[in-house]
Amino acid sequence: MEAIEVGEVFSLSDENNEEQEVEVLGAMDVEGAEYIAVAFVEDIQTETEEDIDIFFLKVEEDNEFSYIENDEVFEKVSAAFEKIMDEQEQE
């Protein structure tokens, strides 16, 4: 299985089956499962003072992605991502 790199850009289908490009902002392992944080490329490239929406996806064994549907897991993944971002800001 090929590792997913921070900065990698790929397309996801949205709820209307339209392709949207997303960029990987972070990758983390939580309780033995791999997750990535992504944001829409269009949002990242638009210079604005507003926060961008970040989505967390679970990386399945076949390198497919699934959305996190469990609130407890979402909170753990979100906390892990925040910790990574805090550590990067301190460097």
Range 67-82 average pLDDT: 95
**What is the torsional sign of CA 48, 87, 75, 12?**
positive
User: What is the number of structural domains in the chain?
Assistant: 1
> Does any domain span residue 3?
no
pLDDT at 72: 96
Query: Would you state the pLDDT for residue 41?
Result: 92
For 29-46, letters b (16+ CB in 10 Å) and e give: ebeeebbbbbbbeebeee
Domain carrying residue 47 = 9-90
66 domain-assigned: yes
Residues 1-54: pLDDT tens digits? 567 889 999 998 877 889 999 999 999 999 999 999 999 998 888 877 778 889
* pLDDT greater at residue 46 or residue 55: 55
Flag whether 48 is in a domain. Answer: yes
Q: Binning pLDDT at 50, 70 and 90, where does residue 62 land?
A: confident
* Of residues 64 and 35, more confidently modeled: 35
Distance CA 40, CA 23 (A): 6
